[in-house]
Amino acid sequence: VPCAMGVHTHRMPFDPPTFTRLLPTGCSLGQRLEYHASLSSTMTAARELVGSEGGASLHGAVVLADEQTAGLGRRGRSWDAEACCSLLFSLVWAPAAAGPPAFPELVRLNLAAPLAVAGACSLVGVSSGLVKWPNDVWAGVPPKKLSGVLLDYDGREAAVLGVGVNVLQDMSLHPAATSVATLLAAQTPTPPGREAEPGWAGALEPSSPLAPPASLRERLLASFCGELERLMRMETAQVVAEHRRRDLLRGQTVRVHHRTREEHDPRDYDAVAAGVGEDGALRVRRVGEPAGREVALAAEEVSISPLGPAS
């Protein structure tokens, strides 16, 4: 997701002491924060940290950068962002068991992570966040991409959860993405005389009462840690129930892509999304197939584009 249109406030480096102060009382996640002004990828740095120190002792540690020069996205895509305008971090999660026995916990983690992003956004005033399977967060009206999550497991010690959230970018005219600041500004009344200005989305100066709240990135990360810990205490069925309430695709017609959304493949088809199961797979019914004849899709094999409400 590109950083576009400038920013809604002056870009300040992430402030670790403020984040630590804002962490929910008793939250074990985020107690260790490795802050960097710039990294190639927080996921790569987190994986290197696990390799040098081991996974168990790093559970809940966060590696954060104000800027990534080679951020990672799903299926080989990149995540591009200007310095200090996105929340870019990776969290180390050491599952209770290693190897295949860890997979049910990691499925729950993969379901919980975008829910935690959406919950954190709600806590700062953006309540429209929906989860686009497998682990993106879209928000606004119409919904646009706000965040992406990527889970990587080494099969042994620890998983690394990579998260990117558009926070301070002004994306009021961006066709495919949005940001927390843009959504917050869109909720404010338009001042008299500004109605005719295309793309006006609130004041850009941090001194304005319409500007995003101070320490917005720090608040989001602290809230994310608290939300993720809350969700991971639940049974998988409870997490799936929360997912259902924020499911962008359920009941929608979607396009199933077997390569990428940009490449045609003769295997691609349109379907109606029926929701996500406890195994993390998306259930869909091909358009034209009888009701009840559903197939389960794995995130490693396909990508999904929403087309609109099912007819």
Q: How confident is the model at residue 201 (pLDDT cuts 50, 70, 90)?
A: very low
pLDDT the model gives residue 249: 97
- Which of 23-27, 34-38, 174-178, 215-219 is predicted least confidently? 174-178
pTM value is 0.89
Q: Which residues of 270-290 are buried (b: 16+ CB within 10 A; e: fewer)?
A: ebbbbbbbeebbbbbbeeeee
Write the pLDDT tens digit of every residue in 269-292: 999 999 999 999 999 999 988 777
| Token pair recorded at residue 72 | 């990672």
Tell me, what's the pLDDT at 191?
A: 54
Q: Is 121:139 a contact under the CB 8 Å cutoff? A: yes
Q: CA-based diameter of the chain, in Å? A: 61
304 vs 213, higher pLDDT? 304
pLDDT band at residue 261 under the 50/70/90 scheme? confident
Dihedral sign computed on CA atoms, order 3, 90, 84, 181: positive
Task: Summarize the confidence of residues 245-259 as an average pLDDT.
Answer: 95
pLDDT, residue 158, reads 95
Tell me the pLDDT tens digit for each residue of 102-126: 999 999 999 999 999 999 999 999 9
> pLDDT value at position 276?
97
What percentage of the chain reaches a pLDDT higher than 90? 71
Q: What is the pLDDT of residue 6?
A: 52
**What pLDDT, on a 0 to 100 scale, did the predictor assign at position 310?**
82
Predicted confidence (pLDDT) at residue 194 exceeds the cutoff of 90: no
Tell me the CA distances in angstroms from 212 to 65, 199, 204, 216, one per residue in order: 20, 17, 9, 7
All residues at 6 or more sequence positions from 259 whose CB lies less than 8 Å from its CB, including other chains: 265
